[in-house]
Structure 1
Amino acid sequence: MIFKKESIFTSLFSFYILLGSALLLFTSCTKNEAVGDLQITEPVGISRDLEYVEVNITIDPRRLVNKALFLRNRNDGDLIIGQILDRSKILLDSNVVQCLFPISIKAHETNEYEIVIGDNKKTITDLELKGERLDLFIENEYFKADLTSKKTSDNKELSAGQLSSISLKQHNDINLERNNIKMHWAPSFQKKNVDYKTMAHIQEFDSIHIEKGPYVISVYRSGKVNDYEEIQLEGEYKFYAGKPYFSFSSEMKMVDSLTVTMLRNDEMTMNRFFTHAIFPIANGKIKTIPLYDKAPLISHHSIKELRKHPVDANARWFAFYNDSTKYGFGSLRLHFDYKNLSGGLSPMIDAQTKITYAHHEGRYWDRRFVDSGELRVPKGSKYFEENVYAIFDVDNEHPSKEIEKLYEQLSNPVIMKYTPIQ
């Protein structure tokens, strides 16, 4: 993990909050009926103090009315309560229920559990949600995310549900944001002679779904932007208890052909909060460049260098950090899929990850599928990705150490073997 040791490695405050209430339920759930077995193995030698696992459990959903699902450790009998995902709809679905459990596991360890039904109990964690509909504030012990609506400098409304700013609680509550626009400016697109737009410009949503639970809060939206009806958009945030990160998955699907001059995702735009950018390059090396030039002459170690040597569009992670305040904020690119509906690759021109200058000394990064010229994007093209946005501590000698560690953990999840009990 990538946070201060006193935050989670030694105190493990969040972890004990999460599991404490679950273990207290042990004495109150004496008549638990087993419905499956679960084996969990740590595959790459990383001890995990708090790992979330999603398990698809075969069960008649009607058995879960006013009930909960638990993991019962076969060694000590301890119980961990789960969060049944989308509980409001499970009675309408099949006999498979998805449940999220918090677990801990040592490096290379294998743990055996029973999945059991028990009485549902309230579970308290550090994860909180405030607000109505999509005008939301979501927070845990590491950050407070603002998803409320925002007006641009020309008085245009950017819809709620897209990240406006994020406050870093363990770094003097500094509020990462960008003046007059959303901080998270993606997915985004532009046609010739038409204003540049993003998912935050959706005025009427096709679908909205908010999942509220003790371990994860998710915010899902889908719809189209005026003047860009050819693009069907979907996006979902997931915020976790006890974690200094959140995820965002999105898809742009072309329901009709169009020609674009810009097509982007993974864009985070911010005021002057950071001093450097850092990212992996070929041969396992890490590159660091200053975001602001201290001398009149631009050295080859600057943002302008990237015009000649662009960062790979699919670089496994990308981040900004501050060498004085010792915090960073970065994107970990866990999944991407650019296959069209026919199985071929959706088109791109000059795809790259790019850092760009913004007004009033702002800086932003984004992943560009079209960086120059015009591109005809045929009907059926799709661009999907899932990124994790993480706050991390920085050691100036090895500034990439913690984000690399987190990427290794998230890209190598624990291995699960689920066996239903017939």
Structure 2
Amino acid sequence: MPTNIVPIPANEMDRILNLYEFDIDYSNLESTFKDLTRLAAKISGTDISLVNLIDSYTQWSVSNFGLDIDQMAREDSVCQYTILEDDHFEVEDLSIDTRFQDKSYVANPLNLRYYFGVPLKTNTGHNIGALCVLDKGQKKLTPEKIELLKIIAKEIITRLNTIKVIEDLKNRLLAEKETSKKVAHDIRGPLAGIIGVSEIIQDQGNDSKLADILEMVNLIHTSGKSVLDLADEILTEKRISKPLKEDDFNLLVLKEKLLKLYTPQAKYKDINFTVHINETNETIGFSKNKLLQIIGNLISNALKFTTEKGNVGVDLDLQTIEDQKYLNIAVTDDGVGMSDESIDRILNGTNTSSDGTVGEKGYGFGLVMVKHLIDGLKGKLEISSIEGKGTKFEVKIPQY
């Protein structure tokens, strides 16, 4: 295959959608697969083993053995070819393969030569990444070892599915809790009105002929007050300060994750990357559902189209409008900018990819996926840009 052709799966859009359904935090899975990466290296007899997930821009090494690596540009990876395969992909000598011989991992100090990868195929048949093993020496795996690596690859998918089920349950429980709060809020007004009327009747109803009516009103008042207190208790619960759990999200946690995930990409291109948050709201919890996928794609896109010494900034805030909480996200760059036609194509979901400022390859669907995810969360996306001066993406996502 010629080196200038980008390998893209035929079902790339569906593949990316399937990956995003797992809503993966790429910075938080090392312990989940640590035993499997070690086992894969032992079975294959190689120095290195990696679990890689591949999105529109980046290969994320969510677990590693023998090589301390977190991420790599997708166009530089070997696993981008593995996700094209149904069974496996093998390169016996990377140094003589024109697709890889000029890559940094083939040169000193790594001097990698052998690669074997098994696609991570989901239940819907999409390859969202690869389990791979690498070595400095040339090798040839036996059929028995290959079968064992495939078993490990299936176990990786099983664990990802388990994580997804747990997260889906958490989101459903959170939605149920928010629904109960909304119900409490909705019934509070009418109940307060009933109690108010009953108090007026009590004050004016001293005539003994109204004794029976007053007794009924007293019952209404007592019952209504009890339910009103319950509604107040439910509504007040969200204002009680609670310790942040390990997997809870707030602006501080989100900022730290974004800096950890995308600072390496910015440093590689010598771009100034910053994340700012509204410190007043920094500890308020909110749902992390699809946030890393949405913001991550916007940041990767901004880095791709910003030149050396340029700037990419992220601003995060929480806003409450008429009892509805919104997460506001702004990603700004001073890169090459976009035409009005390009903006329209993104907002209409028909955008196509293009190469970055230093030749980064375009795999398409990145911004199309962002629009799809935002729509799925009932959010809004606005884009403003001046060609040659930069672009600003603004996202508003309701928090239920």
TM interval, shorter chain, is under 0.3
TM-score, normalising length from structure 2?
A: 0.28
Could you say which structure has the higher strand fraction? 1
Could you say which structure has the higher helix fraction? 2
Structure ranking higher on relative contact order (CA contacts 8 Å, 6+ apart): 1
Query: Max radius of gyration: which structure?
Result: 2
